[in-house]
Chains A and B, each alone.
Chain A
Amino acid sequence: MFASVGAAAVGLVLAWIWYAQGEGRVPAMIAARFPRFYRLLENKYFVDEFYEAVFVEGLAKRGGRFLWEVDATVVDLIPNGTAAVTRGASWATNVFDKNVVDGAVNGVADGFQSGWRLARRAQTGRVQNYALVMGAGLFGLVAVYLIFR
């Protein structure tokens, strides 16, 4: 604590001597002799600029922007990816439902239609065919019965 208070006191005294009493001749001399050193001191060791460049611009903003990118794309993949997968699965499920599940239902109907077309062909309109069908049917009936009796 004493060092810092002492440094502050020295600085106070020096400032009073140099600027208040001496019109700044010594600082000007230092500025002329050691210009870079003087600039360093004048710009407060460029701490602000350093901060600005490294932390604010570099880490925070660019880093932030980078992480934002990562977040928006990669991490957000969790919901977005799920959504995409879900949408894809939903679309596939919909196709399955329309074609396979409902297709089975309509397929039953189509099956009946094919059966109908088959049944139609039995009606040829000719009496001879009809008599043949009847006779064959009768023969078949009796034959099957006698065989499996």
Chain B
Amino acid sequence: MQLMGLWIPILSIVTYVPLAGALAIVFFLPKERTGAIRTLATATVIAGFLASLPLWFLFERGHAGYQFVELAPWIPSLGVDYHFGIDGISLVLILLTTLMGIIAVVCSYTAITERQKEYYVLLLLLQTFMLGTFCSLDLFLFYVFWEVMLVPMYFLIGVWGSDRRLYAAIKFFLYTLAGSVLMLLGIIALYFYNTTGFLGYKGLGNAPTFSIEKLTVVAQGLPVDLQIWLFFAFFLGFAIKVPMFPFHTWLPDAHTEAPTAGSVILAAVLLKMGTYGFVRFSLPMFPDAITTPWVLTLMVTLAIVGIVYGAMVTLVQKDMKRLIAYSSVSHLGFVMLGVFALNMSGIQGGMLQMVNHGISTGGLFLLVGMIYERRHTRLISEYGGIARQMPVYATYFLILVLSSMGLPLLNGFIGEFAILQGAFARSFWWAFFAATGIVLGAAYLLWLYQRVFFGEITNPANANLPDLTPREQLTLVPLVLLALWIGLYPKPMFDVLRVPSEKIVEAVGGRTATEPQLARERPSAPVEASGLAEGTPRP
């Protein structure tokens, strides 16, 4: 970006500020000075967030390409560049990440009492790696950030987690890694199709490159059977991250055993990596594969199964964190359904719901962490009647529960409505099952709330719990405000997401074999006040 005639690599700044903070803590602060460490960490994430704010204000909503681009050669022998840039979807995810960074650091003040230096360093490193993933426009660079992100998360779970943390940490790492390495092979295959050819297919003979823009064009031109192979190579890497059924079982363990800030970051940001991957890579690059009937059916089926199955399993959980973890499976099933509806409503709704899920589920994990700090148990049966003792806490919890549930006036409703609209436009039955998921969502959330907050205080240990401190409220207020803002006035979000969604819909539009009327959704259609574009309802 240009500022007073100077070119500022703002994306790199946003990405590496946490790294700088981490290095400062490592080299300049001995581990005894825990107060200074916390202060520096907080200052770093606040600085990172402030550095990312200009992105929101300077971003051009109607521009179709990538913005704030930075390009420098990195490994020319392989055609790898250091290539950063964002569009609408990465913009909102970056802002979500930087905001969550602040929240994660601040909420850890009292939760983490041991080895604090390492903790904050790891948290900051994780922040850098996540931001790098969202900013990358080079497939190799993306892969590097994608993989290395797992390392600090592994340590966060394994050192500061709860009882089964060793199992959860290695399960998380290995499972996610296994998917990612197959994606690496897909990347290599794509590289060869661009240059010299591979396995009997002639290459295009271009100069080697990993640029996402160029490779997207290359991939779109590939024959269908090839696209399908590559789609599934990438699919596994992303599907495990989302997580889609049946690759989701690492999530309950990782979320439950991680420390609060770890769970918050996992839910709010890391899970978005998978869906981001689908939206950034799979959909634009392999449109012929996606619109092949059996592939699309498979994807949507998995999404719907994720919604309903996830919700049903959530219903019977006895541990609060596990309950919320499983609810993420259900919520992200919604996102996947929206994405694979392949129309404006669905994709915009899916992208918005990514952010919404981060807000609501991240907030719920925060809240559970707060009560865990007081009572050191996460079992629902240990609670009851908490609202009497902690009314402020109960209020925040209620707001976030309603947001997660999708109640109108809050953010969840907007996303869910858009997704349902998109799904309905493709098939009544998709929307039907998705709606079932909404009902189940209300069931498990309200039931949870009732068991924990209402009624008499049955457990004497709950009799004298202190309500939320100002610091704790500080971590929740931004989330509540965001939930309300997006719920009441989602237009700014939809403005940002409109152009990327249009690009995707254009990429897949007109290629459906069975639904010829899925022609290009009018790319220059004026957007209504609420920002929702319509889909064509089918009888």
Known: A87-B316, A89-B312, A90-B312. A97 touches B440 (CB 8 A): no
Q: How far does the alpha carbon of A83 sit from the alpha carbon of B250 in the complex, in Å?
A: 28
| Interchain CB contact (< 8 A) of A102 among B249, B312, B314, B317 | B249
Residue of B nearest to A102 (CB): B249
On chain A, the residues within 8 Å of B313 by CB distance are 90, 93-94, 97
A19 interface residue, CB < 8 Å from B? no
Chain A residues numbered 76-107 whose CB sits less than 8 Å from any CB in chain B: 83, 86-87, 89-91, 93-94, 97, 101-102, 104-105
On chain A, the residues within 8 Å of B245 by CB distance are 101
B309 interface residue, CB < 8 Å from A? yes
Q: How far does the alpha carbon of A130 sit from the alpha carbon of B312 in the complex, in Å?
A: 55
- Most central of A90, A94, A102, A104 by chain B CB within 10 Å: A90
- Chain B interface extent, by class: 10 to 19
B73 interface residue, CB < 8 Å from A? no
A87 engages B315 (CB within 8 Å)? yes
B443 interface residue, CB < 8 Å from A? yes
Q: How far does the alpha carbon of A137 sit from the alpha carbon of B315 in the complex, in Å?
A: 56
Q: How far does the alpha carbon of A97 sit from the alpha carbon of B322 in the complex, in Å?
A: 13
- Shortest C-beta distance, A109 to chain B (Å), equals 8
Residue of B nearest to A97 (CB): B313
Known: A86-B443, A105-B171, A105-B175. A93 touches B250 (CB 8 A): no
B5 interface residue, CB < 8 Å from A? no
Q: How far does the alpha carbon of A126 sit from the alpha carbon of B319 in the complex, in Å?
A: 53
| Interchain CB contact (< 8 A) of B315 among A90, A102, A105 | A90
- Shortest C-beta distance, B119 to chain A (Å), equals 28
B316 engages A91 (CB within 8 Å)? yes
On chain A, the residues within 8 Å of B250 by CB distance are 105
Residue of B nearest to A104 (CB): B246
B315-328 vs A, Cβ < 8 Å mask (1 yes, 0 no): 11100000000000
- Shortest C-beta distance, A104 to chain B (Å), equals 8
On chain A, the residues within 8 Å of B309 by CB distance are 93, 97
Residue of B nearest to A92 (CB): B312
- Shortest C-beta distance, B179 to chain A (Å), equals 12
Q: How far does the alpha carbon of A86 sit from the alpha carbon of B437 in the complex, in Å?
A: 12
Q: How far does the alpha carbon of A93 sit from the alpha carbon of B326 in the complex, in Å?
A: 12
Q: How far does the alpha carbon of A105 sit from the alpha carbon of B309 in the complex, in Å?
A: 18
- Shortest C-beta distance, B133 to chain A (Å), equals 25
B316 engages A105 (CB within 8 Å)? no
A101 engages B249 (CB within 8 Å)? yes
On chain B, the residues within 8 Å of A94 by CB distance are 312-313, 316-317
- Shortest C-beta distance, B315 to chain A (Å), equals 4
| Interchain CB contact (< 8 A) of A86 among B246, B249, B312 | B312
| Interchain CB contact (< 8 A) of B249 among A89, A93, A97 | A97
Known: A86-B443, A93-B309. A101 touches B316 (CB 8 A): no
On chain B, the residues within 8 Å of A83 by CB distance are 443
On chain A, the residues within 8 Å of B312 by CB distance are 86, 89-90, 93-94
- Shortest C-beta distance, A1 to chain B (Å), equals 60
- Shortest C-beta distance, A78 to chain B (Å), equals 13
Chain B residues numbered 434-448 whose CB sits less than 8 Å from any CB in chain A: 440, 443
On chain B, the residues within 8 Å of A86 by CB distance are 312, 315, 440, 443
Q: How far does the alpha carbon of A94 sit from the alpha carbon of B309 in the complex, in Å?
A: 9
A96-124 vs B, Cβ < 8 Å mask (1 yes, 0 no): 01000110110000000000000000000
B246 engages A101 (CB within 8 Å)? yes
- Shortest C-beta distance, A36 to chain B (Å), equals 60
Q: How far does the alpha carbon of A89 sit from the alpha carbon of B315 in the complex, in Å?
A: 10
Q: How far does the alpha carbon of A118 sit from the alpha carbon of B32 in the complex, in Å?
A: 49
Q: How far does the alpha carbon of A91 sit from the alpha carbon of B313 in the complex, in Å?
A: 7
A105 engages B249 (CB within 8 Å)? yes
- Shortest C-beta distance, B83 to chain A (Å), equals 35
Q: How far does the alpha carbon of A112 sit from the alpha carbon of B440 in the complex, in Å?
A: 38
Q: How far does the alpha carbon of A121 sit from the alpha carbon of B250 in the complex, in Å?
A: 32
- Shortest C-beta distance, B353 to chain A (Å), equals 23
Q: How far does the alpha carbon of A89 sit from the alpha carbon of B312 in the complex, in Å?
A: 7
- Shortest C-beta distance, B139 to chain A (Å), equals 28
On chain A, the residues within 8 Å of B314 by CB distance are 90
On chain B, the residues within 8 Å of A97 by CB distance are 249, 309, 313
On chain B, the residues within 8 Å of A93 by CB distance are 309, 312-313
B290-323 vs A, Cβ < 8 Å mask (1 yes, 0 no): 0000000000000000000100111111000000
On chain A, the residues within 8 Å of B248 by CB distance are 101
- Shortest C-beta distance, B18 to chain A (Å), equals 32
- Shortest C-beta distance, A24 to chain B (Å), equals 66
Chain B residues numbered 77-99 whose CB sits less than 8 Å from any CB in chain A: none
- Shortest C-beta distance, B35 to chain A (Å), equals 42
On chain A, the residues within 8 Å of B246 by CB distance are 101, 104
On chain B, the residues within 8 Å of A87 by CB distance are 315-316
- Shortest C-beta distance, B63 to chain A (Å), equals 43
Q: How far does the alpha carbon of A86 sit from the alpha carbon of B249 in the complex, in Å?
A: 21
- Shortest C-beta distance, A115 to chain B (Å), equals 15
Q: How far does the alpha carbon of A97 sit from the alpha carbon of B313 in the complex, in Å?
A: 8
On chain B, the residues within 8 Å of A105 by CB distance are 171, 175, 249-250
- Most central of B309, B316, B317, B443 by chain A CB within 10 Å: B316
- Shortest C-beta distance, A101 to chain B (Å), equals 5
Q: How far does the alpha carbon of A101 sit from the alpha carbon of B443 in the complex, in Å?
A: 24
Q: How far does the alpha carbon of A97 sit from the alpha carbon of B250 in the complex, in Å?
A: 11
On chain A, the residues within 8 Å of B249 by CB distance are 97, 101-102, 105
Please list 21 pairs of residues, one from A and one from B, whose beta carbons are closer than 8 Å in the complex, sorted by A's number. Answer: A86-B312, A86-B315, A86-B440, A86-B443, A87-B315, A87-B316, A89-B312, A90-B313, A90-B314, A90-B315, A90-B316, A93-B312, A93-B313, A94-B312, A97-B309, A97-B313, A101-B246, A101-B249, A104-B246, A105-B249, A105-B250
9 further interface pairs, Cβ-Cβ under 8 Å (given A86-B440, A87-B315): A83-B443, A89-B312, A90-B313, A90-B316, A93-B313, A94-B317, A97-B249, A102-B249, A105-B171
Interface residues of B (CB under 8 A from A): 171, 175, 245-246, 248-250, 309, 312-317, 440, 443
Query: What 3 A-B pairs have minimum CB-CB distances, sorted nearest first?
Result: A102-B249, A90-B315, A90-B312
